[in-house]
Structure 1
Amino acid sequence: MIKKLIIGTLVLGLTTSCVSKKVYSDLEKKYNNLAASKRKMSKEKKDLEAEKARLNKELNDLKGKHGDLASAKDNLQSEYDALKSQFDKLQEDYDLLEAKSSSTIKKNLARNKDLLAQLEAKENALAEENARLSKLQEELAQRSARVDELEKLMAANEAKMLALKSAVSNALKAFEGKGLTVEHKNGKVYVSMENKLLFNSGSWAVGSEGKKAIKTLASVLSENTDINVLIEGHTDNVPFAKRGAILDNWDLSTKRATAIVRVLQGNGVGPEQISAAGRSEYVPIETNKTKIGKAKNRRIEIILEPNLDEISKLLNE
C-alpha cells in the first residue's frame, strides 16, 4: 500500500513538475532493493534462530537415544554374563559327571549346546548394539560440534558488536547531549542522530557539525569492513511543503538518508557495506503531539549489524 502511495504521488509529481522519470525510477528501485534487503536480513535472522533451535532439539534427541542404547547394552551385557556363568557351571558339572554316567553326559551335552547357542545369539546382539551405539556416538559428536561452532560464531558476533558499540560511543563522545545516542540491542548497534545535529529544517544538506559526527563515525566503520550499515531517515508527521524534486516526507527522509550515505562513502566506508532507506513519519519513537517528541522523531538511525555469511554457510553445509 505504501509503495503504491509513493508511486502515485510521484506520478502526480511528474505531471505537475519537472521531475524526471529517471529520478522516479531510481527512487523506486532503491526502495525495492532496500525492502528486499530488509526482508532478507529478517529472514536470515529467523532462519538462524530456527536452525539453532532445530539443532539443539536434534542434539537432545540423540542424547536420549544414546542413553537408551547404553542402557540396552548394559542389559545385554548382564544377560551375557549370567549365561556365561551358567555355562561355566555346567561345564564344571560336566567335567565332574563325565566319568559317572553316559546319560548324564548326554543330557549335559544337550544343555551345553543350547546354552552355547543362546550365548552366541547374545554375543551377536551385543555386537550389533555396540555398532549402533558407536554410530550414534559419532553422529552425536558431529551434531554437538556443529552446535558448538554455531554458538561460537554467534557469541563472537555478539562480542564484536559490543566492542563496536564501545568504539563508536568513545569516538562520538564529543557529540553527547547534542541529539546523539548509541545503544546495543538485538545483536545490533543503533546510532541515532536527531536532525538538529545534522540538517536545517526542511533541508537534506548535512551541516558542518553533522559532517564532523558522520566523519568521526566513518573512521570507526572504515576499520570494520565486515559490518553492514543501514541508514534510515525519519521525519515527524508535519506534512512537507513541496520543494523542487521533494514531494513529501517520504522523499525528504530518503534524501536525508542518502546524504548520510555519501558522507560515509566519501570518508572510507565501502559502498558495498551501506544501504539507505526513507521511513518517513511512520516509525516514531516519541509522540508527535509535542515539540520535544517531534524533534526526537526527526532523526537519522544508523543501524550496524554483523555480516552473517559465515553462519549461513555453516547452516547450509
Structure 2
Amino acid sequence: MRKSILVMTIAAASMLITSCSSKKELVACQEENKALQTNYTDTKEKLAASTARVASLEQQLSQAEKANAALQNALEKSLANTSQNNVSIEKLVDQINESNKYIRHLVEVKSKSDSLNMVLTNNLTRSLSKEELKDVDVQVLKGVVYISLADNMLYKSGSYEISDRASETLSKIAKIIKDYKDYDVLIEGNTDNVPIKRENIRNNWDLSCLRASSVVQALQNQYGVDPKRLTAGGRGEYNPLQPNSSEAGKQRNRRTQIIITPKLDEFMELIGQAPAEE
C-alpha cells in the first residue's frame, strides 16, 4: 500500500514538474511570439514607409526627368535662336558696312560734282562779257548748273529762231559744255502766260518746245556738241519765276534754261550700287 502511495506520489510530482515546465515554456513562447509580432509589425510599417518613399522618389525622378527634358529643349532652341541672331547680327553689320561704303561713295561723288560745278560755273562766267551777263544768269542748285538765257537776247521777236546776237554767247556756252564731257545737257523752254497762236504754233507749250529745240540744234549743228548729250523740253507757262501780273515778271518768265547735270547713267550706276533692303 505504502508502495503504491509512493509510486502515486512520485508520479504526481513528476506530472507537476512536467506541468510547471510546460507552463514556463508556454510563457516563454508567448513572450517570444509577442516579441516576434512586435518585430513583424515594426518591419511591416518600415516596409510600407520604404515603399511610399520609393514611390515618392520615383515621382520626383519622373518630374525631374521631364523638367530636364524641357530645359534641354529650351537650351537647344536658345542655342538655335542665338545662332540665328548671330547670323542676323553679322548680316546687319555687313549691310551697315555696305551702306557706310555707299554713303562715303556718294559723298565723294557729290564733292567731286560740286567741285566740277564750281569750276564749270567760274569758267563760264569768266568767258562771258559784262554785257552778256546782263542776259545770262548762272546758278548752281542742288548739284546742278542752271544757265538761264533771256528770250529777248536769244530769239528773234515773237519767234523760235535763234538771233544773231545770241550766236556768240551760245558759242561760249557750247565750248564749256564740250570741255565737260561727263555732263548731260537739258534745254528747257519757258514762256509767260500770254496766249499765242500762230502758224504751226498752237499755244505756249508748242512755243517753249520749239525754242528749246532750236537751241539744241544750234549746239549740235553749229557748235559741234554731241547730240547724245542733249535733250530738248518745254514747260510752257507752268514754271514761272515771277508772277505774270507785271511786265517785268513776264519778261523774267520768258526764258530758256540750259541745265547741265552729271550723266544719267552715272546716277543709275550709283543706284545699282546701293545696298539692297531686307
Q: TM-score range by the shorter chain?
A: 0.5 to 0.7
Corresponding residue number in structure 2 for 1:260: 215
Residue equivalent to 1:72: none
Superposed, 1:136-215 pairs within 5 Å as: 141-215=97-171
Q: Measured at CA, do residues 136 and 276 of structure 1 come closer, stay the same or move farther in structure 2, by a change above 3 Å?
A: closer
Work out the CA distance in 1 between the residues paired with 2:152 and 2:181: 29
Structure 2 Cα separation of the partners of residues 137 and 248 of structure 1: 57
1:1-317 map, 5 Å: 141-242=97-198, 244-266=199-221, 267-317=223-273
Unmatched runs of 5 consecutive residues or more in structure 2: 1-78, 274-278
CA–CA distance in structure 1, aligned partners of residues 215 and 224 of structure 2: 13
- 1:144 is displaced (CA, Å) by 3.1
TM-score normalised to the size of structure 1?
A: 0.54
Query: Runs of 4+ in structure 1 displaced over 6 angstroms?
Result: 131-139
Q: 1:247 to 1:140 in 2, by over 3 A?
A: closer
**Retained in 2: the 8 A contact 1:199–1:206?**
yes
Letter of the 1:165 partner, please give it: T
Aligned equivalents of 2:91, 2:212: Cα separation in 1: 56
Larger Rg: 1 or 2? 2
Paired residues of 1:258 and 1:276 also in contact (CA < 8 A) = yes
Q: CA deviation at 1:310?
A: 3.4
TM superposition score normalised by structure 2: 0.61
In 1, distance between residues paired with 2:156 and 2:197? 15
Count of residue pairs brought into register by the alignment: 190
Distance 1:139 1:284 in 2: 44
Please give the per-residue CA displacement for 1:84-139, whole angstroms capped at 9, x wherever unaligned. xxxxxxxxxxxxxxxxxxxxxxxxxxxxxxxxxxxxxxxxx9xx9xx989888766
Distance 2:133 2:107 in 1: 37
Identity of aligned residues (%): 32
2:5 alignment counterpart = none
Which residue pairs with 2:61 in the alignment? none
- What SS is found at the alignment partner of 2:153? helix
Q: Is contact 1:219-1:268 (8 Å) kept?
A: no
Q: Is the 8 A contact 1:225 1:270 kept in 2?
A: no
After superposition, the C-alpha distances for 1:124-175 in whole angstroms (9 at most, x for unaligned) are x9xx9xx989888766554433332222122212222222122222222344
Assess if the C-alpha contact under 8 Å between 1:153 and 1:311 holds in 2: no
Question: Is the Cα–Cα contact under 8 Å of residues 232 and 302 in structure 1 kept in the other structure?
Answer: yes
Give distance in 2, aligned partners of 1:278 and 1:304.
Answer: 16
Q: State the distance in 2 between where 1:245 and 1:136 align.
A: 60
Aligned to 2:179, what secondary structure does the other structure show? coil
Aligned 8 A contact 1:161 1:306 in 2: no
